[in-house]
Amino acid sequence: MWKLLRFLKKYAAQSVCAPIFKGLEVAFELIVPIVIAAVIDKGIVLADKPYIFKMCGVLVLLAVVGLSCTLLAQYFAAKASVSFCSDIRSALFKHISKLSFSQIDGIGTPTLITRLTGDLNQVQTGVNLTLRLLIRSPFVVFGAVIMAFTVDSRAATVFAVTVPILAVIIFAVMLITIPLYKHTQQLLDKLLSKISESLLGVRVIRAFCKEREEYSEFEAANSKLCATQLRVGRISALLNPLTVVIVNLSIALLIYRGALQVDSGYLSKGQVVALYNYMTQILIELIKLANLIINIAKSIACGNRIQAVFDTQPDIVSGDTTVATPAEYAIEFDNVTFAYAKGAEPAIKNINLKIKPHETVGIIGATGSGKSTLINLIPHFYTPDSGTVSVFGKNVNSFSLDFLRGKIGLVPQNAVLFKGTVRENMRMSNPNATDEEIFAALKTAQAEDFILKKNGVLDFVVEQNGKNLSGGQRQRLNIARALVRKPEILILDDSSSALDYATDAALRTAIKNLDFPCTVIIVSQRASSLRHADKIVVLEKGSIVDVGTDNELKERCGIYREIRRTQFEEAGGESDE
């Protein structure tokens, strides 16, 4: 948590001004009981009305000045805390964007969302309250004790005993609750993860009538979170009653002793009222301090979770190379092995593959054979455990990530579109693309016809994740977005699975006749989508079984022959398309 305070340096002036003005407010507030004592002893007892009116004017002046200081303190505290958390949020989002896919998978998307939202909001609240109250409350408590001693040293011994007892109670509760709040946030992460999973898979859950099981799992996670929150709540709830009881007992003792001293003529009535007011101020401030400490405990727990993300250093670092020179091979895998988690079974192993410039290569294999894993190593989304992946004759580790990925057009397995117009989605890969270039890409991707029918055409608004489009339309727009860049390497990761055979064939023909030089890698479950590739890579259980043309593989590779035979039989016979 303390490491996050580096973001507060930019707002040091506001962070200093807030407690200073709070301190001034406290100073004026501590004078009030003395003024009231003077009103009682000199004004009311002596029936001196001019003096009473004069002192009332002083009280009004103290109130106005105190209010002004309070407003200024509130302003500076709010400005510092909001700006502080805004900077953290920006830095955290930027940091998360640098993490590798494996690191994001390890932390979990729901957890990252929680830390960017709920955790940061709690930190903002904690910083705001700290700047306003952390200085004020001790100032009032110790200031009231000092002022009580100036009124009467013997009566003020009650204050000297009460304050340390209260301090012990407050810090004991804080030490117990801080770890519990951290555990509560971890349970909240798990609950949010379960909610996210259930909402994303709601169709599957309903299709298999698993609502009861999902509800039971949710209820178990929710009950565990509730039990932990109740436990920490019970401990935190002890704070206010204990402080109120101790302070009220102290007030009773103070009034009792004060009454005896007034009766003996040692103290005046105004002095007893002043002492009572100081004890009341201590009570109010300690209640505020107790609530403040609970908020600080929550903020520290949330801040530590945010800092844990910052402490996760990206395991993929951008290189310095920003030049691609002609090479014999556009892409080369040299004995590459990769596993998604340490100690896990490798997703791909001992991969050796060379792809020449402008070559069209197909990758086929059963589900889970490592097709997507293989192509995700090319843009350096992951780093292989052993071996090297080279692009344009150089190890991908040496390239600047922006430069490397700027040369690659990747169409992911799951079609992803963002809320915005078609034009905005297309320009994600090339911000300077003209409408003519966008239409050319749409035509190649077989998306031009249906886009022309949409209201607004390129200004048609796509909903989040393309929910107002069909699966085939989303896939074609994803392909068009990759083509707008005119990449030197085009990777299609099973990106035509939702297309009919005729559209798929037209798409392959259009890609083959691109008006710019491009190395094409097509990952597909369909043998028909790959039969005209320059070579086809057959994967099984993470290893390359064979590499060759369609004719070569159907003669010598049993796995490919079986895939091909099954698919063409289902399609009603072999086609020459």
Is residue 108 included in any domain, yes or no?
yes
Tell me the longest C-alpha to C-alpha distance in the chain: 119
The answer on 143 and 23 residing in a single domain is: yes
Backbone φ and ψ of 574, nearest 5°:
-75, 135
The answer on 425 and 287 residing in a single domain is: no
What range does the domain containing 79 cover? 2-182+235-311
CA distance 498 to 519: 23
Cα 43 to the chain's mean position, in Å? 62
Residue whose entry in the numeric block shows the structure tokens 């050319």: 440
Is residue 319 included in any domain, yes or no?
no
Closest CA to 284 of 258, 248, 335, 320: 248
Is residue 103 included in any domain, yes or no?
yes
CA distance 405 to 73: 49
In contact, 483 and 441? CB cutoff 8 Å: yes
The answer on 425 and 306 residing in a single domain is: no
CA distance 341 to 343: 6
The answer on 159 and 29 residing in a single domain is: yes
Is residue 478 included in any domain, yes or no?
yes
For position 459, which CATH number holds? 3.40.50.300
Final residue before a domain boundary, out of 452, 469, 486: 486
Is residue 270 included in any domain, yes or no?
yes
Structure-token pair, residue 186? 């971890």
Is residue 20 included in any domain, yes or no?
yes
| 514-548: burial string, b at 16+ Cβ within 10 Å, e else | beeebbbbbbbbbbbbbbbbebbbbbbebbbbbbb
Final residue before a domain boundary, out of 258, 281, 311: 311
The answer on 304 and 441 residing in a single domain is: no
In contact, 422 and 338? CB cutoff 8 Å: no
Grouping H, G, I as helix, E, B as strand and the rest as coil, residue 409 is strand
In Å, how far are 171, 235, 236 from 231, measured between CA atoms? Answer: 18, 7, 9
- pLDDT score for 575: 45
Q: For 526-557, where are the alpha helices, taking DSSP H only? A: 550-556
CA distance 388 to 312: 24
CA distance 125 to 61: 31
Are β-strands 535-540 and 543-548 bridged in parallel, bridged antiparallel, or unpaired? antiparallel
Please give the single-letter amino acid code of residue 91: A
The answer on 277 and 146 residing in a single domain is: yes
The answer on 425 and 299 residing in a single domain is: no
Please give the single-letter amino acid code of residue 418: F
Are β-strands 360-365 and 386-391 bridged in parallel, bridged antiparallel, or unpaired? unpaired
- pLDDT score for 576: 42
pTM, full prediction:
0.71
The answer on 131 and 262 residing in a single domain is: yes
Closest CA to 70 of 104, 21, 34, 30: 21
Total structural domains in the chain? 2
Grouping H, G, I as helix, E, B as strand and the rest as coil, residue 512 is helix
In Å, how far are 173, 415, 512, 528, 574 from 508, measured between CA atoms? Answer: 68, 18, 6, 10, 18
Is residue 124 included in any domain, yes or no?
yes
pLDDT in tens, the chain (577 residues): 678 888 888 898 999 999 899 888 888 888 888 888 888 877 787 777 888 888 889 889 988 998 999 899 999 999 999 999 999 999 999 998 888 888 887 787 778 888 888 889 989 998 998 888 887 878 888 888 888 787 777 777 787 788 788 778 877 877 787 788 778 877 887 887 788 778 777 878 888 888 888 888 888 888 988 988 888 888 878 877 887 788 788 888 878 877 877 777 777 778 888 888 887 887 778 777 777 877 887 788 888 889 989 988 888 888 888 888 888 899 999 999 998 877 678 899 999 999 999 999 999 988 888 898 999 999 998 889 899 999 988 999 889 888 998 899 999 888 888 889 999 999 988 898 999 999 999 999 998 889 998 888 889 999 888 888 888 889 899 999 999 989 999 999 888 877 888 888 888 889 888 888 899 999 988 888 888 889 999 999 889 999 999 888 888 888 888 888 877 665 555 444 4
Q: Which residues contact 74 (CB under 8 A, 6 or more apart)?
A: 18, 132
Q: Count CB atoms within 10 A of the CB of residue 48.
A: 14
The answer on 292 and 438 residing in a single domain is: no
Final residue before a domain boundary, out of 444, 463, 486: 486
Is residue 138 included in any domain, yes or no?
yes
Structure-token pair, residue 538? 């057959």
